[in-house]
Every structure is written in structure tokens, then in C-alpha cells.
């Protein structure tokens, strides 16, 4: 089973929802947490939102996790997730912080820039994942590295008066 989650951000992530439907059309069993998106996904098991307990169960039980670029969605997940960052230019977030964040963890997560490429990414996922750092080490290092970048950005914004 592939679990696809767009998170809880208020802007829809229609590109990732369409990518989930393409995975299902390609024959994969897909459970989708789609948030505010209204894109039709007749071949997926769809949930608008999930409780933290249900989300944790699906993340744990998934063969492959596909998630947006919010660190809370994948840093604690087992294995190597496929991460698709939301893009500001596409109206998916307020800025491109997810794009910047996943650039820093691309050696520890299977980053896919365009959800239209998900079918191909899933086909080669195990090969890509086998080249990653072991999961426990990846989570610890990725969190520390990402947290450092977040702190740097907060400090930079405060200094610039943002």
C-alpha cells in the first residue's frame, strides 16, 4: 500500500493529489489524505483529514510513504519516504520553504519535484532508497540539519525586520 499525504496546510496540493490518482490508475493500492483538495480520485481510498493516531498507523503500515515537504510529515517515518515539496508559484504554500528544506535532505529522502513523475519514482523507489543512509541515522541527522536551517532562517528574518 502507498500512503500519500498532503498534510494539513490550508492551501490545496492538487498536483500531489493528481499524482496519487495516477499511482492508483497504474495498479497501486493508494490511501490518500488530501486535505482541502477537491480533485476527483475515484481509484484511491480518500480521507480529507486523519487523526494523529490513524495517520501514524498508515505511515507505519505503508510500503511507501509519499508526502509533502513538511518535516513533521516524514522525519519520524520509518524507511525512506518520497517527498514532494509544495511550490509557492503553484499556489500550494505561502513561500518556497519546502523546496529549500528538501534540498537539504535530498540525500536522506527520495525527493520528487513534480508529482506527475510519481509513477516512475515509485517504480525505482527501492533502488533509490537502498542507497540512502540507514533510517535511524537519517532521521536524527536530517532533523538536526533541518532544524539548523530553520533557526538560521528565523534569525535572518528577524534581523531583516520580517
pLDDT at 131: 78
Task: Please report, rounded to a whole number, the percentage of residues in the chain having pLDDT higher than 70.
Answer: 82
Task: Answer whether residue 31 shows pLDDT above 80.
Answer: yes
- pLDDT tens digit sequence for 82-109: 988 877 667 666 666 676 777 777 667 7
Of 68, 16, 70, nearest in space to 46 by CA? 16
- Which candidate, 54, 33, 29, 53, places its Cα nearest to that of 43? 29
Let me know: does 83 contact 67? Beta carbons within 8 Å.
yes
| CATH entry 3.40.50.2000 includes domain 2-159 | yes
Write down the residue that cell numbers 476527483 correspond to: 40
Closest of 62, 64, 59 to residue 124, by C-alpha: 64
Confidence of residue 68 (pLDDT cuts 50, 70, 90): confident
Q: Which residue has the higher pLDDT, 78 or 141?
A: 78
Q: What is the pLDDT of residues 108-158, one digit of tens each?
A: 778 888 989 999 999 988 888 887 755 545 556 666 777 777 778 878 888
Amino acid at each position: 500500500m502507498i500512503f500519500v499525504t498532503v498534510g494539513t496546510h490550508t492551501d490545496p496540493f492538487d498536483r500531489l493529489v493528481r499524482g496519487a490518482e495516477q499511482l492508483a490508475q497504474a495498479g497501486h493500492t493508494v490511501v490518500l489524505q488530501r486535505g482541502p483538495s477537491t480533485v476527483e480520485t475515484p481509484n484511491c481510498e480518500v480521507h480529507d483529514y486523519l487523526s494523529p493516531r490513524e495517520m501514524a498507523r498508515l505511515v507505519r503500515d505503508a510500503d511507501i510513504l509519499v508526502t509533502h515537504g513538511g518535516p513533521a510529515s516524514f522525519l519520524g517515518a520509518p524507511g525512506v519516504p518520497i517527498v514532494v515539496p509544495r511550490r509557492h508559484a503553484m499556489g500550494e504554500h505561502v513561500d518556497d520553504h519546502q523546496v529549500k528544506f528538501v534540498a537539504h535532505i535530498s540525500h536522506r529522502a527520495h525527493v520528487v519535484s513534480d508529482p506527475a513523475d510519481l509513477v516512475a519514482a515509485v517504480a525505482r523507489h527501492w533502488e533509490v532508497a537502498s542507497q540512502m543512509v540507514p533510517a535511524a541515522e537519517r532521521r536524527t541527522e536530517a532533523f538536526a540539519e533541518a532544524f539548523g536551517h530553520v533557526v538560521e532562517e528565523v534569525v535572518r528574518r528577524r534581523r531583516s525586520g520580517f
